[in-house]
Chains A and B, each alone.
Chain A
Amino acid sequence: MILEGILATCQPLTILWIAIGVAVGIIFGAIPGLTATMAIVMFLPVTYSMSASQGIAMLMALYIGGISGGLISAILLNIPGTPSSVATCFDGKPMANKGQAGKALGTGVVFSFVGTLIGIAILVVLAPVLCAFALKFQAYEYCALALFSLSMVVALTGSDMPKGLISAVLGALLATVGLAPIDSRSRFTFNLFQLNNGFALVVLLIGLFAISEVMSFAESVRKKQDFTIEQNVKMKGAGFTFAEFLAQIPNAIVSALIGVGIGILPGIGGGVSCMIAYTVSKNTSKHRELYGTGIMDGVVASETANNATIGGAVIPLLSLGIPGDAATAMLLGGLMIHNVAPGPLIYEKNGAVVYAIFTAMLISAVFMLLFMLWGMRFFVSVLKVPKNYLLPIVMVLCGIGAIGNANQLFDTYVMVGFGLMAYLMIKAKIPTVPMILGFILGPTFEENLRRVSQLSSSDPFYNHPIFCVLIVATVLVVIFSARANIRDAKREEAAGD
């Protein structure tokens, strides 16, 4: 099975797709406003006719390239290409200002590679363990797990708890459209046969992320963009000495562990992990006063953490079917399209695909390192690509992605509807990430809750210790996040006054 997976990825055509995926991902990551999620959305229809291993390998390559590419604009423009590179700006741009743009880029690239490798290593070790553990899960446990995951999302996505909850509930509510679980009675379909299977996850994601991105660019058409691209980029090797590399290893390991840990939690992406890793690195450093003035340590912390998040986010995706962030939610859509069902049985049913994914991630990391070290001049020139030409083409590809999902035009109408909804939600400051988790976890919760209602008389809940632990954890998360939310709201009010 392992060999089968490795061989499936090591085919010349698959490697070519991975190389293309990494290059496109880096371009999307580098251009501010285009994200890894959009790259995956755009290339999803291209994978429809590929084998599962090929298609998923390409999506993984886009993901890794997309997260890594963000460092280019963070360092050269002081604008993070993706939210995952926010903290890279803090020291990356000051380094560039000091004439060390090449060193900053080299540091970012090498430690992105290191972070990805650590993330993959932990993924390879932890995913089967989590799968084996999750095999013990029955209706009680799945029901509690869905509830716990939703509570985590709500607790950790922003300070406005009611709006986070609204987003999650709205997602769960949209998931009730279609045939009900267990008894297959149609609900909220308005006699449209296209709605019998409910809304497709991919279509929801395209609407939420791609359309809203185009609209936010449309808002800025008349605003003057005030930024200058650092032109003085000289890359010689990695840009730093071996001694400097060794000195950064402890910082990289701590940051990678933070990245993986954050990645495992549902609903939180690299944006949070790079900030936390940067803060931890700064607070534990002997020269914390130098952070923000342009030192390697800040770039290392941010870039190692955000790339390690990739491995972390894939752990719950493969073993439980719960995505760690928006990009992995898109990957979940890709897995479903290729008839790969993530969950505890994935090793038994699609073991070869799982090992193909691991191999693809490894190859993608190597390509990312090579492309970014030797092709940096090209990627820097990509920053000048006019987005007014690029975004309409992205929109057309999104439309093709929606049509190709089930070969029905109806999905494009749904896509536009979700796009409008996402735009209005963003304007109302309602986060969109909890909605995805609500949409994915809502049906799991419903199905298992109804099974639990059948079982409760013969198999009471106290026979399920994992269920009890998860429910207690959910209650604790809700209590602590509610307290933190009230504290944050009071602080914001005080700052406003």
Chain B
Amino acid sequence: MKNRNNYKLDIIPGVVLALFSLFYMSRIPGIKVFKGLGSTPLNNHFIPWLWGGSLLFLSLWLIVRGILKYRRLKAEGVISGEGSLFGALAEKREVIFSFIALIIYVAFMESVGFVIMTCIYVFVQILILTPVEKWAKNIVPALITAVITGCLLFYIFRSVLNVLLPVGMFGLGL
């Protein structure tokens, strides 16, 4: 069956990438050009202009392709109804929560410390990846896994393999 909304997979990325390429190219004039001995005829602006311009061109190509698809599907009368944005986000809630958990994990790792943040993150992430109806059975195993993971990895990587993992405000592991 034809994906009736696949024109969106052209238009939305096309618009986002076009805006990104415009932002990228707006920064190019600010790059200092080297004009001393040994400078090259193609300066350090050339390649950024080339990639930025190419991305803009390809993004516009996607947008035009998406619009043409939309027009054709509309003429055929096969455009499906718009689903609600809230519904779509709710459908992806595990993904959204996973990203939020990951962002909080890396954002607070330096101040709170690797061990504590890892214990919290692993516990929360296990629950996110577990169907809600199975949470009751999984809380204790998740907690044990989280604590063992946090402490063991900190010991192995900081003490044995000398990776500079953040100790944080409580100075755990010192």
A: residues with CB less than 8 A from B are 45-46, 48-49, 162-163, 165-166, 169-170, 172-173, 176, 180, 182-183, 185-188, 211, 214-215, 217-219, 221-222, 387-389, 391-393, 395-397, 399-400, 403-404, 407, 409, 412-413, 415-416, 419-420, 423-424, 428-430, 442, 445-446, 449-451, 453-454, 496-497
Contacts and interface: CB of A to CB of B under 8 A. Distances in A.
A169 B51 contact: yes
A176 B157 CA distance: 32
Given A169-B54, A215-B98, A391 B109 contact: no
Interface residues of B, number: 68
A63 B141 CA distance: 31
12 contacts: A45-B161, A166-B59, A169-B51, A185-B33, A185-B44, A218-B98, A219-B92, A393-B145, A449-B46, A449-B47, A453-B41, A454-B40
Contact of B55 (A173, A413, A450): A173
A351 to B, nearest CB: 28
Contact of A416 (B95, B106, B130): B106
Nearest to A456: B41
Contacts of A419: 99, 102
Contacts of B24: 173, 188
Contacts of A163: 62
Contact of B121 (A389, A396, A397): A396
Given A173-B52, A185-B33, A187-B31, A45 B125 contact: no
A420 B2 CA distance: 28
A400 B27 contact: no
A218 B40 CA distance: 49
Contacts of A211: 102
B129 A392 contact: yes
A162 B58 contact: yes
Interface of B: 2-3, 9, 12-13, 17, 24, 27, 31-34, 38-44, 46-48, 51-52, 54-55, 58-59, 61-62, 65, 92, 94-95, 97-99, 102-103, 105-107, 109-110, 118, 121-122, 125-126, 128-131, 138, 141-142, 145, 149-150, 153, 157, 160-166
Contact of A428 (B13, B92, B160, B165): B13
Given A166-B58, A214-B98, 10 more contacts: A165-B58, A182-B44, A183-B40, A218-B97, A393-B149, A400-B153, A400-B157, A419-B102, A449-B47, A453-B42
Contact of B157 (A45, A170, A186): A45
Contacts of B141: 389
A497 B73 CA distance: 11
A413 B106 contact: yes
Given A162-B65, A173-B55, A187 B48 contact: yes
User: 6 tightest CB-CB pairs across the interface, nearest first?
Assistant: A183-B34, A388-B129, A392-B125, A496-B2, A180-B44, A218-B94
Contacts of B164: 403-404, 407
A183 B39 contact: yes
B163 A404 contact: yes
B58 A442 contact: no
A393 B129 CA distance: 12
Contacts of A170: 17, 55
Contacts of A172: 51
A496 B69 CA distance: 12
A303 B80 CA distance: 43
Contacts of B110: 409
A345 B60 CA distance: 42
A295 B43 CA distance: 60
A18 B129 CA distance: 32
A233 B97 CA distance: 40
Contact of B51 (A173, A185, A430): A173
B40 A451 contact: yes
A176 B128 CA distance: 37
B44 A187 contact: yes
